[in-house]
Structure 1
Amino acid sequence: MDDLQFGTRNKRGDWAPKEPLQIASSWAVPFRLGQFLKFIPGYLFPWNAFHIATALLYWFYVVPPVETLQTLSWGWALWLYAVNAAAIFALYGSVEFFWYVKRKQGTRFKYNGKFPADQPSDVFWFKSQNIDNFLRSFFISIPLWTLVEVIFLYAFAKGYVPWLTWSANPVYLAALVLLCPVIHEVHFFCIHRLIHTDFLYKHVHSVHHNSVNPSPWSSLSMHPVEGFLYHAVALWHLVIPSNPIVAMFQLHVAGFGAVNGHIGFDKLEITEDTPLESHAYAHYLHHKYFEVNYGGDGLIPLDKWFGYWHDGTKEAEARMEARFEAKKARANAKR
Structure 2
Amino acid sequence: MDDLEYGMRNKRGDWAPNDPVEGAPFWAWPPKFLKILAWLPGYVWPWNAFHMATALIWWFYIVPDIETLKTLSFGWAFYLYAVNAAAIFAFYGSVELFWYVHRKQGTRFKYNAKFPGDQPSDVFWFKSQNIDNFLRSFFFSIPLWTLVEVLFLWVFANGWVPWLTWTENPWYLALLVLIAPMIHEVHFFCIHRLIHWGPLYKWVHSVHHNSVNPSPWSSLSMHPVEGFLYHAVAFWHLILPSNPMIAMFQLHLAGFGAVNGHIGFDKLELTDDLPLNTHAYAHYLHHKYFEVNYGGDGLIPLDKWFGYWHDGSKEGDARMQARFQKKKARLNAKAQG
- TM-score normalised by structure 1 residue count: 0.99
Distance 2:244 2:32 in 1: 35
2:159 is aligned to 159
Are residues 1:12 and 2:12 paired?
yes
Q: What do residues 120-145 of structure 1 show as CA deviations (whole Å, max 9, x unaligned)?
A: 00000000000000000000000000
Q: Is the 8 A contact 1:111 1:265 kept in 2?
A: yes
Q: Letter of the aligned partner of 1:268 in structure 2?
A: L
SS at the partner of 2:205? helix
Q: CA deviation at 1:241?
A: 0.2
Distance 1:248 1:54 in 2: 9
Distance 2:180 2:27 in 1: 18
Q: Is the 8 A contact 1:51 1:253 kept in 2?
A: yes
**Percent identity between the two aligned chains:** 78
Q: Letter of the aligned partner of 2:100 in structure 1?
A: Y
SS at the partner of 2:276? strand
The number of equivalent residue pairs is: 335
Distance 1:17 1:29 in 2: 26
2:320 is aligned to 320
Distance 2:299 2:197 in 1: 24
2:329 is aligned to 329
Q: What do residues 295-329 of structure 1 show as CA deviations (whole Å, max 9, x unaligned)?
A: 00011111111110001111111111111111111
Q: CA deviation at 1:36?
A: 1.0
Q: Is the 8 A contact 1:26 1:39 kept in 2?
A: no
Q: CA deviation at 1:199?
A: 0.7
Matches within 5 A, 1:267-306: 267-306=267-306
Q: CA deviation at 1:278?
A: 0.2
Distance 1:179 1:23 in 2: 15
Distance 1:221 1:176 in 2: 29
Superposition CA RMSD, Å = 0.5
Q: What do residues 192-238 of structure 1 show as CA deviations (whole Å, max 9, x unaligned)?
A: 00000111001100000000000000000000000000000000000
Are residues 1:171 and 2:171 paired?
yes
1:125 is aligned to 125
SS at the partner of 2:16? strand
2:149 is aligned to 149
SS at the partner of 1:291? coil
Q: Letter of the aligned partner of 1:103 in structure 2?
A: R
Q: Is the 8 A contact 1:214 1:264 kept in 2?
A: yes
Q: What do residues 64-110 of structure 1 show as CA deviations (whole Å, max 9, x unaligned)?
A: 00000000000000000000000000100000000000000000000
Q: Letter of the aligned partner of 1:295 in structure 2?
A: G
1:103 is aligned to 103
Runs of 4+ in 1 over 2 A off after TM superposition: none
Question: Which 10-residue stretch deviates more, 129-138 or 316-325?
Answer: 316-325
Q: CA deviation at 1:43?
A: 0.6
SS at the partner of 2:275? strand
Q: CA deviation at 1:23?
A: 1.1
SS at the partner of 1:264? coil
Q: CA deviation at 1:333?
A: 1.4
Q: Letter of the aligned partner of 2:3 in structure 1?
A: D
2:208 is aligned to 208
Distance 1:21 1:78 in 2: 40
Distance 1:251 1:24 in 2: 22
Distance 2:105 2:229 in 1: 35
Q: Is the 8 A contact 1:231 1:251 kept in 2?
A: yes
Question: Which 10-residue stretch deviates more, 323-332 or 130-139?
Answer: 323-332
Q: What do residues 238-269 of structure 1 show as CA deviations (whole Å, max 9, x unaligned)?
A: 00000000000000000000000000000000
Q: Is the 8 A contact 1:265 1:278 kept in 2?
A: yes
Distance 1:290 1:200 in 2: 14
Distance 2:141 2:132 in 1: 13
Distance 2:284 2:232 in 1: 23
1:197 is aligned to 197
Are residues 1:80 and 2:83 paired?
no
Are residues 1:228 and 2:266 paired?
no
Are residues 1:182 and 2:182 paired?
yes
Q: Letter of the aligned partner of 2:62 in structure 1?
A: V
Distance 1:27 1:108 in 2: 32
Q: CA deviation at 1:32?
A: 1.3
- TM-score normalised by structure 2 residue count: 0.99
Structure 1 regions of 5+ residues with no counterpart? Answer: none
Q: CA deviation at 1:33?
A: 1.2
Structure 2 regions of 5+ residues with no counterpart? Answer: none
